[in-house]
């Protein structure tokens, strides 16, 4: 799915053999963006978002002007206000340019409610780092990554190009990650949502999880 040979060896932040690793700090990155709310172009960097103590969601997708992609971005747009209220910066990312993002946003009716920044990884450097770059097609696979305010990668999901994602599940995963940021000794079971019971791993819990969750 990813390839090392396409890295720029003189890039200031990335080394050819480096990849994002779950539970580890993410290397800084900078990308150009089209900002639908501002109606113009800009830049975004992980360093700046860390300075703002933001949670970050990177939502990679194959290409503008395709078919499953606008349905995913519309689904994400429907949850954007909720994610933003949780101090989360949402960035959609593809290997298209910022100019193509602008044109697609203006043409595709499904994108009418998109207000999050649309990042342009047209060199594929960031896609490679996160392991979603498809060398044969030159586009990114469908990859979703959650980065906490300290810059640690705490969530990852990658699906094939013909399988769309679910923003409801993304919100649930972010909620769990936020809760566990403040309660690191606990663990969230399957389908956990805020307010439900969590688990506190210990020798007393071995073989007794079902009883604990009753």
Is residue 88 part of the annotated active site? The answer reads no
Beta-sheet pairing, 88-94 with 117-120: parallel
Choosing from 3, 69, 88, 188, the catalytic residue is: 69
Domain chopping of the chain, boundaries: 30-182, 185-214
* CATH assignment, 30-182: 3.40.30.10
Q: Indicate the pLDDT class of residue 11, thresholds 50, 70 and 90.
A: low
With contact defined as beta carbons under 8 Å apart, do 83 and 171 qualify? yes
Mind spelling out the 3-state secondary structure of 134-172? Answer: ECCCCEECEEEEEECCCCEEEEEEEECCCCCCCHHHHHH
Structure tokens at 119: 């990042």
pLDDT band (50, 70, 90) for residue 203? very high
**Could you give the 3-state DSSP secondary structure of residue 214?**
coil
pLDDT tens string 13-40: 554 548 999 999 999 999 999 999 999 9
Confidence check: pLDDT of 161 > 50:
yes
Reported as a pLDDT band with limits 50, 70 and 90, residue 8 is very low
> What is the reported pTM?
0.92
In the structure encoding, which two tokens stand for residue 145, read together? 């990554």
Cα–Cα distances (Å) from 110 to 15, 101, 148, 173, in that order, read 37, 13, 29, 25
């Amino acid at each position: 799915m990813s390839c090392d040979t396409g890295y720029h060896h003189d890039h200031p932040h990335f080394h050819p053999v480096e990849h994002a690793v779950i539970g580890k700090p993410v290397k800084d990155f900078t990308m150009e963006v089209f900002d639908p709310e501002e109606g113009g172009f800009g830049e975004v960097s992980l360093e700046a978002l860390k300075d703002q103590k933001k949670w970050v969601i990177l939502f990679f997708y194959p290409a503008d002007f395709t078919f499953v992609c606008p349905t995913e971005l519309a689904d994400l747009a429907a949850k954007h206000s909720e994610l933003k209220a949780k101090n989360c910066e949402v960035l959609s990312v593809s290997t298209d340019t910022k100019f193509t993002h602008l044109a697609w946003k203006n043409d595709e009716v499904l994108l009418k409610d998109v207000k999050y920044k649309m990042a342009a990884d047209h060199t594929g450097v960031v896609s490679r780092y996160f392991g979603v770059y498809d060398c044969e097609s030159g586009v990114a696979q469908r990859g979703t990554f959650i980065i906490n305010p300290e810059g640690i990668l705490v969530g990852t999901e990658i699906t094939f190009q013909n399988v769309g994602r679910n923003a409801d599940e993304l919100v649930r995963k972010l909620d769990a990650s936020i809760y566990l940021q403040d309660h690191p000794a606990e663990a969230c079971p399957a389908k956990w949502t805020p307010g439900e019971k969590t688990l506190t791993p210990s020798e007393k819990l071995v073989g007794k999880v079902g009883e604990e969750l009753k």
